[in-house]
Structure 1
Amino acid sequence: MNVDERIDAHQHYWDPARGDYGWLSPDLEPLYRVFGPNDLAPLRHGTGIARTVVVQAAPTVDETRYLLKLAQDDDSIAGVVGWVPLDSVDAVDLIEEFSRDSKFKGVRPMLQDLPDDTWIAHVPRPEAIERLIEHDLAFDALIFARHVPSLIEFARRYPTLRIVIDHGAKPPIRDGVDAAWQPWADGIAQLAALPQKPLCKLSGLATEAAKGWTDATLQPYAAHLIAHFGPERLMWGSDWPVLNLNGGYTDWHATATRLTAHLDKAGQQAIFGANARAFYRL
């Protein structure tokens, strides 16, 4: 095991022609094209990132199969976090199918886009969640602060499910610290205190900021995540290519490196690789 290996714990690949990215429209011009491993390769090499975790961007089984096929053909893809209809009778069979692929590492139900903010607390089929636990698969929680109470209820129901909070629970940074700090900050503290000790991704902050963000813009939010999760429960992710809407891979990597530079070497290694490797069983 190479403790110095750097891993991007959250990025995406897609092809709009596949037709199942409901949120991805032509008006999102920087994103509306094919993004694949060859596009990311120079950015990875320039920042010393060896491998990545590719996360679903469409709520379809077909997209999960598409990502797993990409992973078969590219060693830089260390793992795939896919999508399964956790409310369906088909969920257990799909989890069984995907778990036979060694690069399938977890699921993400895209909670932020569901019309019911309490969905996670009462809709998923218990047998599906239990099967995730049996196969030691992870659960990515894509949430805003308004989802925290329901996610806490869900997490307490399944104390052995391994959970990671995507994008630091997406604080509304563009509104400014004074306006946006609460209830996000309290939600982070509550999630970090859960008995199963969920992890959190140091990702997505640039996307949530206003144009022209700087280290200083993101520093209070990164510091709050570090204070509550500690370097032992944070993992860096790029959120590329969504990041292209409000920044660049190299810039965000450099900012995250500076915002964690006060940590000791072991803490930095944990955030930029070791935690992702352990959490996703890479």
Structure 2
Amino acid sequence: MNIDAHQHYWDPARGDYGWLKPEMKALYRVFAPDDLKPLREAVNVARTVVVQAAPTVDETRYLLDLARNEESIAGVVGWVPLDAPDAPALIETLARDPKFKGVRPMLQDLPDDHWIETAPIEPAIRKLVELDLAFDALIFARHVPSFTKFAQRYPELRIVVDHGAKPPIRDGAAGWQPWADGIAQLAELPQKPYCKLSGLVTEAAQECDESVLKPYVDHLFEHFGAQRLMWGSDWPVLNLNGDYAGWHDAARALFRSRSHLERADEAAIFGANARAFYRL
């Protein structure tokens, strides 16, 4: 079964997407399961993992409500105020829903790049470990030093790096470092994190082709390998610089260009790894 390990649904009228502005015409509308259905069916994607896009518990509950009536949603990665005193109890409550699979603090948007290292979040993280829930890391290369210190404190925590840590592809050679060294460092963390092959098109210049993405995909493959990479669309954010079928087909072509890639490896990247990591 092919699985999209990272996509979003939202309704701007809900009012808690601070980053989503009316001038973002390609994104400022309702995106719901019926919008994605023909796109994923065209490339034989059966199920998806829906990831939070607003730093509110209300949005997490909104996504869980969608999931209860939508078979294609295999799991939800939500948001919890990890530094709140009641965070462990809230995580436990949300985890009663079988489709609640993990949390994602929006680290890329926080004013303090060191928050994950210094915030009082240990009770919440311990609860995630206890309940075998996942942690999605939405980070840039500048977050790697602090994130490394955080991850080393919790070797039992299951971690996946979103969007390949968002390499600045549009900057060309000037953006390769420190991203490349950061990826090598993240891949060697004690819990052996997974990494999502998603969001790369959005970080590239307009109308990029596979040759532009190839060095980044190759670098991710070199360090995470076929058993710790998972394909995700990042739809509908993807619409800013691409389309669902185009990114899916480009990712497949990039992996098939590797002469030593086995069919089982491709199946892992495009479905089995997401199923195993998120306990789908």
The TM-score bracket by the shorter chain reads over 0.9
Hey, what's the Cα distance between the residues in 1 that align with 2:120 and 2:198? 26
Partner of 2:263: 265
Q: Corresponding residue for 1:127?
A: 123
Q: 2:228 aligns with which of 229, 233, 244?
A: 233
Specify the SS of the correspondent of 2:60. Answer: helix
- Equivalent position SS for 1:260: helix
**Deviation, structure 1 residue 124:** 4.1
Superposed displacement of residue 93, structure 1 = 1.3
The reply to whether residue 208 of structure 1 matches residue 208 of structure 2 is no
Partner SS, residue 281 of structure 1: coil
Q: Map residues 266-281 of structure 1 onto 2, 5 A cutoff.
A: 266-281=264-279
RMSD: 0.5
1:54 is the counterpart of 2:13:
no
- CA distance, structure 2, for counterparts of residue 252 and residue 72 of structure 1: 28
Offset at 1:195?
1.4
| Residues 1:80 and 2:76 are matched in the alignment | yes
Aligned amino acid, residue 204 of structure 1: G
After the TM superposition, which segments of 4 or more aligned residues of structure 1 sit over 2 Å from their partners? none
One-letter identity of the residue aligned with 2:238: L
Structure-1-length-normalised TM-score:
0.98
* Structure 2 residue runs without a partner (length 5+): none
Which residue among 134, 137, 159 is the counterpart of 2:133? 137
Gaps of 5+ in 1: none
Q: CA offset at residue 214 of structure 1?
A: 0.2
- The equivalent residue for 1:31 is 27
- Normalised by the size of structure 2, how large is the TM-score? 0.98
Match of 2:227, SS? helix
- Opposite residue 245 of structure 1, the aligned amino acid is L
Q: Aligned equivalents of 1:118 and 1:44: distance in 2?
A: 37
Please tell me the residue identity of whatever aligns with 2:169.
I
Aligned pair count? 277
CA distance, structure 1, for counterparts of residue 265 and residue 45 of structure 2: 17
Is 1:70 aligned to 2:66, yes or no? yes
Written as runs of structure 1 = structure 2, the 5 A alignment for 1:168-207 is 168-176=164-172, 178-207=173-202
